[in-house]
Amino acid sequence: MSYFPNTGPNASIFWAYNSSSQQNVQIGDYFEVDVVNEVEADTVSQGGVRCDVASLVYGEMQTSGQSGYLDKAQTRFFGGATAKASGEGFQVATNKADSYDIDDGNYQVTSNSSLNLYLQLRSKGTNAIGSSGVDQTRIFGIRLNH
């Protein structure tokens, strides 16, 4: 008799999103996801995902400025510094509060080694503070045949 326990992620794609709004995201902080599908959450509970095999991962965010500014905000995938990885960030002109300052995505190709992957807020300015509404932080991944 054999058992095939379905205790872990085993689909060709995975996705994750945030189920509650997130306020006061500052430089260096992460836009966090808390609902994960066909993927494990990161192992240190910081709102990322745990990539198990080589994957093409997209991170999408729609955020608004808070307390006046999301000054020259940028984001990046953080944690994928492996030989195969190359993450892409982006920048937007963001000098107004309450507008959708970030509405875009990052991508990264991860290596075969397990790694925790997060969406991190960066900034070239000095006052980057953001908020993300429900389901406005999303991660979508495709497991690759590497």
Least distance in angstroms from the C-beta of 93 to another protein: 4
Binding residue for another protein, selected from 15, 17, 56, 127, defined by CB under 8 A: 56
11 binds another protein (CB under 8 A): yes
CA 79 – CA 70 distance, rounded (Å): 23
CA distances from 47 to 83, 119, 145 (A): 23, 9, 26
How many residues make contact with another protein (CB under 8 A)? 50
DSSP 45-66: -SS-EEE-S-EEEEEEEEEEEE
CA 53 – CA 76 distance, rounded (Å): 20
The span of 16-24, 62-70, 81-89, 132-140 binding another protein (CB under 8 A) equals: 81-89
- Chain residues that interact with another protein, rule: CB under 8 A: 1-13, 52-54, 56, 72, 74-77, 82-93, 95, 103-109, 111, 122, 124, 142-146
